[in-house]
Amino acid sequence: MDYFTHTLENGIRLIHQTCSSPVAYCGVIVNTGSRDEEESEHGMAHFLEHLIFKGTAKRKSHHILCRMEDVGGELNAYTTKEETCLHTAFYDNHYNRAFELLSDLMFNSTLPQREIEKEKEVIIDEINSYKDSPVEQLFDDFEEQVFTSNTIARNILGTEAALNGHTRQALLHFYQSNYPTTEMVVSSVGNLPFKHVVSCFERHFAKYPTRNRQRVRERYNAALYCKSEQRMDQKTFQSHCILGTQAYSNYDDRRVALHLVTNLLAGPGMNSRLNVALREKRGLAYNVEANYSTYCDTGLASIYFGTDRSDLDRCISLTMSELKLLRQKSLGAIQLARARKQLIGQLAIAAESNEHQMITNGRSLLLFDRVDSLREITDKIEAITPRDILEVANEIFHPDQMCCRILY
């Protein structure tokens, strides 16, 4: 994988990867998310992501929406606990249009008052829609359970009461304090020579002055942790269960082994241990998955499944048995080789998505100031030993450490 980087005087960085497709992808990723909010600002990062599209100094909302879609492109955005991203897909002869629009949105949004009031209703509807999706709500509630004392615990959308209290002045203050050029990456994947991408980048992003973070950020705040179990009776057809605990951060070398462990337990492969134990052998669950999310100072490892209420305790018992086996019995050479190859293959397939690669490259440059090639990632996976698996499994998936949340 060949990629190229360029840094402007104002601190904004560019990363570009060439590809043969006529469809290009680019985005602006900022190192700010919902965990950077004060308690009184709950939901502001996500709210701003919506409002950025509602008007700039030279465009109204309709003109923003049409700018890329008039040429067949797509424009979108997302907010996570630690980042905000605006991104677009387009036919690659529209690079200049794409970069100009993204820079306009990022630096010239006016947050019109009438749009603020309208968008509050939209996001309140989004919040309420989660009440019709108990599994999505369950994952949010589980993070609150695991990260009780950390800002990660708060959900990204905010609450109806918090949103109704956000003023235009407060939103502008949050934006000016938390979206620095020095923590901003523009990522691009497309069939365009790097020098042309740099030309577009400089034309539209170099004119803005350097902006540093104006607020002292307290991300590195280890959450107090205590094992707990919570059960909620919401009369759902299925019982839904999450088991998990705090895990390794973005910067912990053990995260690679934990990715392998979660993939082995209940990754997307139909031959994962828990999928075989719960679904293939016994028909107890339709969906079983293991997830590992990383943050700058911590992480979250979890296992989820849905099952009939009458089978819930049996599924929990079977899951704990598989975890015990992984903690106590070292993987054989053939088992470990298969697990490595499976994860490497999945990562290679994911890299075929240019949109996925654009976001991955941008996040990697933002967090680590570098991007590992597939070969470098493969070498890290190949270096994992049976002892590494045992140590990670015992530290993360020991029953004395795991929280449990059940919705039934």
What is the model's pLDDT at position 188? Answer: 98
Helices assigned H by DSSP within 110-207: 113-129, 134-146, 160-165, 168-178, 194-205
Alpha carbon separation from 185 to 55, 194, 250 (Å, rounded): 22, 16, 18
Cα 379 to Cα 340: distance, rounded to the nearest angstrom: 10
* Closest among 352, 348, 406 to 381, alpha carbons compared: 348
What is the model's pLDDT at position 133? Answer: 85
Cα 242 to Cα 306: distance, rounded to the nearest angstrom: 9
Strand order in the sheet with 229-232: 229-232, 403-407, 239-247, 299-307, 285-294
Among left, alpha and beta (phi > 0; psi -120 to 50; other), residue 72 is left
pLDDT along the chain (408 residues), means of 10: 92 97 98 95 97 96 96 98 98 97 97 95 92 87 90 92 96 95 98 97 98 81 81 90 96 97 97 97 96 95 97 98 97 97 97 97 97 96 98 96 95
- List Cβ neighbours of 41 (8 Å cut-off, separation of 6 or more): 162, 166, 170, 174
Cross-strand partners of 299:
247, 294
What is the model's pLDDT at position 144? Answer: 93
What is the model's pLDDT at position 221? Answer: 65
Element (H, E) at 18: strand 13-18
Pairing state between β 3-7 and 13-18: antiparallel
What is the model's pLDDT at position 192? Answer: 95
Cα 314 to Cα 332: distance, rounded to the nearest angstrom: 28
Domains, the chain, in order of start with CATH, read 3-205 (3.30.830.10), 229-407 (3.30.830.10)
Given a contact cutoff of 8 angstroms between Cβ atoms, the answer to whether 50 and 118 are in contact is no
What is the model's pLDDT at position 235? Answer: 84
| Global pTM exceeds 0.75 | yes
Q: Is 167 exposed, middle or buried (0-12, 13-18, 19+ CB in 10 A)?
A: exposed
